[in-house]
Amino acid sequence: MVFKSKIKWVALLVLTLSLGSMVAHLSMTKFSSMNLIQYSAKDALSHDFPNIVSPVIRNKRLWGTVRSLESLQPYANPRNSYPVPNENTNGFIFAKIFGGFEKIRSSICDLVTISRLLNATLVIPEIQESTRSKQISYKFKSFSYLYDEEQFIASLKNDVNIVRSLPEHLKAARRSNEFPIFKPKNSASPNFYIKEILLNLKKAKVVGLIITEGGCLQSILPPSISEFQRLRCRVAFHALQFRSEIQTLGRQMVERLRAWGQPFLSYHPGLVRDTLAYHGCAELFQDVHTELIQYRRAQMIRQGIISDKLNVDSHLHRENGSCPLIPEEVGLLLRAMGYPSKTIIYLAGSQTFGGQRLLIPLRAMFANLVDRTSLCSKTELSDLVGPETPLPSDIFQLPRPKSESELKEEWNRAGPRPRPLPPPPERRIYPHEKEGWYGWITETDKEPNPSPRDLKMQAHRLLWDALDYIISVEADAFFPGFNNDGSGWPDFSGLVMGQRLYERASSRTYRPDRKTIAALFDITRDNMYHPKHDWTLSVKEHLNKSLSEEGLIRQSLLSKPNSFLSHPLPECSCRISSLEITKQTEGKDGRVLYGDEHECPKWMQSAEAVGVQNDDIESAEDDNDVVEQQERNGPDFTTNLTSMIDHDEEWDPND
């Protein structure tokens, strides 16, 4: 009995302690303000770089400037006789611009140049990506949704007359389409405008232009009107400033990236559906993405954009350098260059075709892969968009069940008996089974017209691309996944590389040759994550050359005939006097693409002399490394590739 009573007392004590513990935990839960901690890129960065205030020691082999290009300086001021435009012009030019961020920026530069050429007054152009969406914020007009109108007009007051809208007596005639409208090609020559459009402009006083191909003027202009090339630079790099809200948030994002005390690299994949369809890169993807690319390619063939056949060998196009580099390949290239796994990489681009699945290998190699959603809160992004009209909620509802009387009525109207049973109804596809914007492909063979939600998202992408553009220009290094595609359309990476070349030519901007990179990966395709040591040296040699004059000249030969803004040399730059003699490089038309820059004014040379002198000692070690690497690899890359294949057996696979 005594033993049983002791057990009862022990059990009672245990219950009392348990009850007290529960009461204590419940009270702590009630009065505690602690929230659950979720993963964020900022927390990951703070874990990788805990000592923010410690002095930053940059590895010059990875983040240093390109010494051979330090003599190039931005200088787009007029150099010949350049009178201020007269108020009495030949008429007004209004334009509608179709396309994304890249086409808009390039088209505006061409419009200003044409207005100056024809002595016309330019009406602020309409950006159709914003005007087509009726639900965007009422605070902004078409042009002001992306750019600062006041800055645009004030910066170009000595170049061209610009007004916000047509005079009142001409607006009604425009609405009734009484004025001639042209749809010029992106390669239209100045003679086309002087002979075809100038006569109509003088006669009707108003001419409309519809621009769909990302430009309306040829890239390389005759030497006699070289001042118009400098005008393009003044428009792109000075007059076209984003509206204040975009600039403020963009600067904040750059400050947040630099607050970790480490340099960062910006990477733009260039995986756009239209580009992939144009070059026939469908087989590089899987599942529904291949079908979507082929559908778009068939559309382009019907529209006459592509003259090639529908089904092509995507792997052959990849070997020719026509397809973008996959994010996994970019990660391996950066790792071969020596970038550590903690390197901060900013992912630019408002849309990556293929989704997050393609980024998984890159995130595995570089955990600090961030984008705008990692650096900005939802409130900051919504404030940038502004107050918008809410869209109706797209909530799926089951059909209303039929009443007993309706069922009897259908039975009576069904016809004579006996009759065969009807086929079973098709299964309804629910919204949760659709995988994003391409869910239409599960229901129909024809792509539907953009919904109001799609139009709003297209307008939002202009803002996201603007933020990415600011960060990519300011980044310590930039790596393009795709540029110089040969289609004639401007691309995001090309514009970024052009502005980085204009503002600071010595900035670390990679210009890889995708054909060479494809050949390198074909060598080590079965051993990509553990390549041979000589393979790594070959990658370093190629990418280091792409940073310097050799890569710049190769890019100029490919990109400038299609887009002047991607290579604004030599017209928009000057060169500080130096003992080095730069070899001039000419294009197919005989124009000098590099090396013909004028000498900078004296005030610019005195300001840069000290900086160049200080960099001589700092870059000496890097020059020795390059020389040593070239001696080991040999001067000819083709011979190097052959020797790599021949001596494969002699290498240690664990190197």
State the virtual CA torsion across 445, 451, 456, 458 in degrees, nearest 10.
20
Tell me: pLDDT of 638 over 50.
no
Which of 520, 586, 511, 578 lies closest to 550, judged by CA? 511
| pLDDT at position 120 | 95
pLDDT of the residue at 432: 57
Rounded to the nearest 10°, the torsion over CA 531, 537, 538, 540 is: 110
> Could you tell me which CATH number the domain at 92-241 has?
3.40.50
Model pLDDT, residue 489: 83
DSSP-derived letter for residue 238 is I
Average pLDDT of span 261-280: 92
Strand-pair partners of 508 = 477
Task: Say if strands 592-594 and 585-586 run parallel, antiparallel, or are unpaired.
Answer: antiparallel
Summarised one tens digit per residue, pLDDT across range 6-62 is: 777 777 877 887 777 777 766 665 554 444 344 455 666 666 665 444 445 678 899
pLDDT score recorded for residue 324 = 93
Q: How far apart are CA 306 and CA 368, in angstroms?
A: 39
Using alpha carbons, list the distances in angstroms from residue 344 to 20, 260, 317, 477. Answer: 49, 9, 31, 11
Are residues 584 and 594 in contact, defined by beta-carbon separation less than 8 angstroms? yes
Contact assessment for residue 455 and residue 133, using Cβ atoms and an 8 Å cutoff: yes
- Of the two residues 498 and 418, the one the predictor is more confident about is 498
The whole-chain average pLDDT of the chain stands at 82
What pLDDT score does 104 carry? Answer: 95
Residue 637 CB-density burial (10 A; 0-12 exposed, 13-18 middle, 19+ buried): middle
For 134-188, the pLDDT digits (tens) are: 778 878 888 999 999 999 999 999 999 999 999 888 887 777 788 899 999 988 9
The answer for residues whose C-beta is within 8 angstroms of residue 516's C-beta and 6 or more apart is: 321, 542, 637
- 487 burial (CB, 10 Å; 0-12 / 13-18 / 19+) is middle
pTM (predicted TM-score): 0.83
* pLDDT bracket for residue 589 (50, 70, 90): low
Residue 147 forms beta bridges with which residues? 242
Tell me where in the chain the CATH 3.40.50 domain(s) lie: 92-241
pLDDT at 6: 72
Summarised one tens digit per residue, pLDDT across range 218-227 is: 998 988 888 9
User: What is the pLDDT averaged over residues 540-547?
Assistant: 95
* Secondary structure class of 73 (helix, strand, coil): strand
Nearest to 572 by CA among 72, 70, 71, 75: 75
Return the DSSP state at 397.
-
Is the pLDDT at 623 greater than 90? The verdict is: no
- Are 353 and 481 in contact by the 8 Å Cβ rule? The answer is no
pLDDT at 507: 94
Q: Is the pLDDT of residue 581 over 80?
A: no
- 257 vs 238: CA distance, rounded Å: 25
pLDDT in tens, 374-395: 999 999 999 998 888 777 665 5
Q: Which two three-digit tokens encode residue 121?
A: 């007054």
pLDDT digits (tens, 9 = 90+) for 304-352: 888 888 888 888 989 999 899 999 999 999 999 999 999 999 999 888 8
Task: Over range 201-211, report the average pLDDT.
Answer: 93
What are the pLDDT digits (tens) for 435-469? 566 677 766 777 888 888 888 888 899 999 999 99
Residue 618 has pLDDT above 70, yes or no: no
Which amino acid is residue 176, in one-letter code? S
The predicted structure's pLDDT at residue 3: 54
Q: What pLDDT shows up at residue 479?
A: 97
| Length reported for the chain | 655
